[in-house]
Structure 1
Amino acid sequence: MLKTRSFKRQAAMLLLTLFSSTALASCSRGATPSAEAGTTNVASTESGGQAGNQCAPELTELEFGIISTESQSNQKPKWEPFIAALSEGIGRDVKASYATDYAAVIEAMGAGKVHMAWYGGKSYIEAAKRSEAEAFAQTVNSDGTKGYYAYLITNKNNPILADIDVEAGDGDQYVIDNAANLTFAFNDPNSTSGFLVPSYYVFAKNDVNPDEVFKELIFAGSHEATALAVANNQVDVATNNSESMVEVEKNDPTAFGNIQVIWTSPEIPSDPIAYRKDLPDCLKAEIQDFFYTYSDEAVLGPLEWQGFDSADDTTWNTVRELEISKSILETTNDATLDEATKQQKLDELNKELEAVQ
């Protein structure tokens, strides 16, 4: 198998190359938001914002957003017991909001219709940028780790495997060299492992624009969808990740048996849990207390978690660095830009990069 390196170390190692590229330069399809316009104004309060001894009595019901990594029919049995425990733990009704795409959760939080959410790294940094999201917890995997891996996958009966060294994990190079003859599926434009990570490591680093090179390129919408597309020979290669493949193995063993991993990324930080920044401080404290102390294995096991660690917005700065680094490489290699415009964009991107280091 391909030897993996830590995500943070890899991001740091890239910086010298990126700044060198900047010096040399000087000599998607969007998902359709489903949330309605308008906001629910949740006033911030000082010193817990309590009315008497009760915290935020006006907030009798909260919405918890869940990104669409798989179908709702698969998600609901795993999530509903946790949502019920959260509701009991904080003493107010909590309803799960299952989205059809990642952007729907981002937009719903921005509109004030979702108060808390489970995000991936990339969808979280988008929500923090434009939807008042504030991360406060990080998921801890069942094995105690706090990371996962992006994959490229293909069908075990696909003839392309004859030219790929599965043990070496060099499927990324095969995809680059043979893209014109391949059909390829990303997950969602706001997915970390299903879009951002492979976009950088597989394509941007090799000066390849995936929009231009494939016989056919699609966005399947979820990790489950990309897995099934590969298992059913609907596409040659697709993105996925180590966490979602565990779910595919449990939910559809036959499909799982048809899938072969051909490339593995460096480690990615595990997922954030976030709430809106403007929730009352007393309510934030209640929510934090629940997440930091909850450890019911019967409820968390189906989600492949053992608990949650305290975290903040900076925990996912490595994902921000990766997204900015991808933009720097794309700008450096953009032949349509004149040198002055290119340098201006690179200067702006490098300032953004410095701000998150």
Structure 2
Amino acid sequence: MKQLLCAVMAAFATFTGSAMDARYVDADGDLVADAPANPSARVDPPTLVFAYSPVEDPAVYAKVWDGFIQHLGRVTGKRVQFFQVQGNAAQIEAMRAGRLHVAGFNPGSIPLAVNCAGFVPFAVMATREDRFGYAMELITHPGSGIRKLADIRGKKIAFTSETSNSGFKAASLLLRDKFDMTAGRDYQPVFSGKHDNSILGVANGHYPAAAIADFVRLGMERRGLVKPGQTVVLYTSESFPTIAYGHAHNLTPELAAKVRQAFFSFDWRGSALAGEFGRSDPPLEKFLTVSYRDTWRIVREIDQAMGVSHACR
């Protein structure tokens, strides 16, 4: 996969992924929407709505994020509400419509969230040494008859959604460019909606194979939702940028600054976030400042190679 990603990057080295909706302005060229120049177009809501990427059961993550939400409320002086999103499209639409102010978007949906919903990503979870990222995995189950990637030919593959990087786009590109397999002709694609649905489907024998994010599978194994022996990893990619945290572009500059302050002043020690994400490999222990233009370049270039548009409908 490393060679494949390098080839994609070389082929589209000049691609920026800019297809921003006309309602937004990017005067400084950082590929994200600027705050509205007209003060009357900026918002300072009494209640901030926060949503985490819909990768697993939202109710579980409401508890995981509770301590951070309380901290965000103290720093901003706002009431903060956790919004349980059911899908990537719903999350993007909520921010576009002004119903969502602070969020973590999954990697594959970030370009659309930036271009179509005015999302301004500024942070990721990272290790103490500033490492971050996740891998795409293609998995199967012991009774599938699949022993290597080539055995997927003629089988059904579960993807999550067309906006997902690990759950669809990176896997599709790998199968197309390395194994000359395309959807419909060589395998039957089905869409489960979420990574946990795909993983459970494979573990229970409903899907022969699936494309998923490794951290979701590992998290489900830690919780006992699936056992390690129920799935078999056929392929693991190089690292991709992970979930991005950010805010809506039209928050007042003062409120936006406080939101950022809340992320970077949060004390992870003994927190539910540390309990959940600190058990990953490597352990995530802080929020790290990142640039959308630079960090998510590879995601935009994979989309370009796949013919995926970031233009808004």
State TM-score, norm by structure 2: 0.80
Structure 2 CA distance for partners of 1:107 and 1:142, relative to 1, 3 Å: farther
- Deviations for 1:294-353, whole angstroms, at most 9, x for unmatched residues? 23232322441311111222121211011102229xxxxxxxxxxxxxxxxxxxx9xx9x
Contact map agreement 2:68 2:266 (CA 8 A) in 1:
no
Work out which structure has the larger RCO, using CA pairs closer than 8 Å and 6 or more positions apart in sequence. 2
Secondary structure of residue in 1 paired with 2:207: coil
Structure 2 CA distance for partners of 1:132 and 1:324, relative to 1, 3 Å: same
Structure 2 CA distance for partners of 1:242 and 1:147, relative to 1, 3 Å: same
Contact map agreement 2:166 2:213 (CA 8 A) in 1:
yes
Does residue 1:78 correspond to 2:57, yes or no? Answer: no
Does residue 1:156 correspond to 2:142, yes or no? Answer: yes
Quote the offset at 1:73 in angstroms: 3.3
The structure 2 residue matched to 1:89, chosen from 75, 79, 86, is 75
Secondary structure of residue in 1 paired with 2:190: strand
Which residue identity is paired with 2:259? I
Does residue 1:320 correspond to 2:300, yes or no? Answer: yes
CA–CA separation in structure 2 for the residues paired with 1:99 and 1:268: 23
Quote the offset at 1:15 in angstroms: 4.8
The structure 1 residue matched to 2:287, chosen from 287, 302, 308, is 308
Structure 2 CA distance for partners of 1:224 and 1:183, relative to 1, 3 Å: same
Secondary structure of residue in 2 paired with 1:160: coil
Secondary structure of residue in 2 paired with 1:270: coil
Quote the offset at 1:252 in angstroms: 2.2
Contact map agreement 2:76 2:258 (CA 8 A) in 1:
yes
Contact map agreement 2:127 2:286 (CA 8 A) in 1:
yes
Corresponding residue number in structure 1 for 2:23: none
- Count matched residues: 279
Contact map agreement 1:79 1:303 (CA 8 A) in 2:
no
Corresponding residue number in structure 2 for 1:265: 237
* Structure 1 segments unaligned to the other structure (5+ residues): 20-42, 50-54, 165-170, 329-348, 353-357
Quote the offset at 1:227 in angstroms: 0.7
Corresponding residue number in structure 1 for 2:163: 190
Secondary structure of residue in 1 paired with 2:285: strand
Quote the offset at 1:242 in angstroms: 1.6
Does residue 1:200 correspond to 2:177, yes or no? Answer: no
Quote the offset at 1:75 in angstroms: 2.4
Corresponding residue number in structure 1 for 2:151: 174
Q: How much identity, in percent, do the aligned residues show?
A: 23
Contact map agreement 1:231 1:256 (CA 8 A) in 2:
no
Superposed counterparts of 1:28-39, under 5 Å? none
Corresponding residue number in structure 1 for 2:91: 105
CA–CA separation in structure 2 for the residues paired with 1:13 and 1:131: 30
Secondary structure of residue in 2 paired with 1:249: helix
Task: Give the RMSD, CA atoms, in angstroms.
Answer: 2.7
Contact map agreement 2:53 2:243 (CA 8 A) in 1:
no
Corresponding residue number in structure 1 for 2:182: 209
Superposed counterparts of 1:57-76, under 5 Å? 58-76=44-62
Structure 2 CA distance for partners of 1:126 and 1:18, relative to 1, 3 Å: closer
Which residue identity is paired with 1:203? R
Which protein shows a greater Rg?
A: 1
* Structure 2 segments unaligned to the other structure (5+ residues): 14-34, 278-283
Structure 2 CA distance for partners of 1:145 and 1:99, relative to 1, 3 Å: same
CA–CA separation in structure 2 for the residues paired with 1:111 and 1:17: 36
State TM-score, norm by structure 1: 0.71
Does residue 1:244 correspond to 2:221, yes or no? Answer: no
